[in-house]
């Protein structure tokens, strides 16, 4: 990896870190080292990074703000591209906004609500980036990204760049085309609506309060671990199966919300994986339901 590290440093594409612990970059505070972690300082730098990576035939992975991620204790092979500063631009044009993939979703929803723009109220407590939210079609409170996205600017694995419409993004529950066709959401155009600022901020506050009262964000966690097997709900199934509070190593199924696994201080990815496997086995035995993870598990 020395050669590619040197090339990335010489290209002056942003911050380049070797053997960077990914526990510093995930909300659950778990994860071994990235061979190389690079944070592009612009979209042009991002294009250069991907070009260098492809020319060297090196594996690459993209992360945002590290929510909804469980990184292996052995870390991630190759180059990890972290979208953050440099890809967090914001341009407003009446009810349309152009926003970079590295922009904080919580920050964006707060700014827009203060301006009386409706559409992002659901995102008030989702601790991810805009790009990650598009990738996962993040949602809550009856809405999701597919309902406000007009188009997304995607940098694909082969270096090509395309604007894809909401229809072309092939959205469904917590899913988009990016889970089938590797690419990076570098920016999006979102369609909002002018509304009543007081009403919007009231809804935002209620959503924030609901999350604070029902979800354990006072501990490191990665968000909802399982997809809801509708019409059932993952948290209810896990709780009714007697697993709420169950711990393995430093990982524990939250006492507050059973679809969250928290890091009580020294959890390893393996502890979380064993809890996930326990939930899958138990729910299958008791309810004959196959549980699917919402959290993305990546790494060696």
Q: How far does the chain reach from its first CA to its final CA, in angstroms?
A: 16
174 has catalytic annotation: yes
What is the full DSSP assignment across 132-188?
Answer: HHHHHT-EETTEEGGGTEEEEEEEETTS-EEEEETTTTT-BTTB-GGGTS-EEEEEE
Q: Exactly one of 20, 124, 129, 174 is catalytic; name it.
A: 174
Q: Convert 83-99 into a string of H (helix), E (strand) and C (coil).
A: CCCCCCCEEEECCEEEE
Cβ atoms 106, 123 nearer than 8 A: yes
**Six-digit token pair at 82?**
């972290």
User: Can you count the helices (H) and strands (E) in the chain?
Assistant: 7, 18
Ramachandran bin of 284, using left for φ above 0, alpha for ψ from -120 to 50, beta for the remaining angles: alpha
Distance CA 113, CA 107 (A): 10
Residue 153 to residues 159, 162, 246: CA-CA distances in angstroms?
A: 13, 6, 42
Set 72, 129, 224, 254: catalytic member: 224
- Return d(Cα 290, Cα 292) in angstroms, integer: 7
State the burial class of residue 299 (Cβ atoms within 10 Å of its Cβ: 0-12, 13-18, 19+).
buried
Q: Classify residue 228 by its DSSP letter.
A: -
* Residues involved in catalysis: 174, 224, 294
């Amino acid at each position: 990896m020395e050669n590619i590290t040197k090339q990335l440093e010489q290209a002056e594409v942003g911050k380049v870190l070797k053997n960077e612990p990914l526990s510093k970059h995930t909300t659950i505070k778990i994860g071994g080292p990235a061979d190389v972690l690079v944070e592009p300082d612009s979209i042009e730098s991002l294009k250069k990074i991907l070009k260098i990576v492809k020319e060297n035939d090196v594996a690459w992975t993209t992360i945002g703000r590290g929510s909804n991620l469980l990184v292996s204790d052995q870390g991630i092979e190759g180059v990890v591209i972290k979208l953050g500063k440099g890809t967090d631009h914001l341009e407003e044009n009446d009810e349309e906004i152009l926003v970079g993939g590295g922009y904080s979703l919580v920050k964006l929803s707060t700014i827009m609500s203060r301006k009386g723009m409706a559409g992002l109220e659901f995102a008030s407590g989702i601790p991810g980036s805009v790009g990650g939210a598009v990738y996962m079609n993040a949602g809550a409170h009856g809405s999701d990204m597919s309902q406000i996205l007009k188009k997304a600017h995607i940098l694909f694995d082969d270096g090509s760049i395309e604007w894809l419409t909401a229809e072309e993004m092939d959205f469904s529950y917590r899913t988009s085309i990016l889970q089938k066709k590797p690419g990076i959401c570098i920016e999006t155009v979102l369609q909002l609506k002018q509304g009543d600022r007081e009403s919007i901020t009231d809804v935002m506050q209620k959503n924030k309060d609901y999350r604070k009262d029902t979800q354990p964000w006072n501990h490191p966690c990665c968000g909802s671990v399982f997809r809801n097997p509708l019409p059932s709900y993952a948290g209810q199934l896990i709780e009714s199966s007697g697993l709420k509070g169950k711990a393995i190593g430093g990982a524990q199924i939250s006492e507050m919300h059973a679809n969250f696994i928290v890091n009580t201080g020294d959890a390893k990815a393996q502890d979380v994986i064993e809890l996930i496997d326990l939930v899958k086995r138990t729910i299958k035995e008791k309810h004959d339901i196959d549980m699917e993870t919402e959290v993305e598990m990546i790494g060696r």
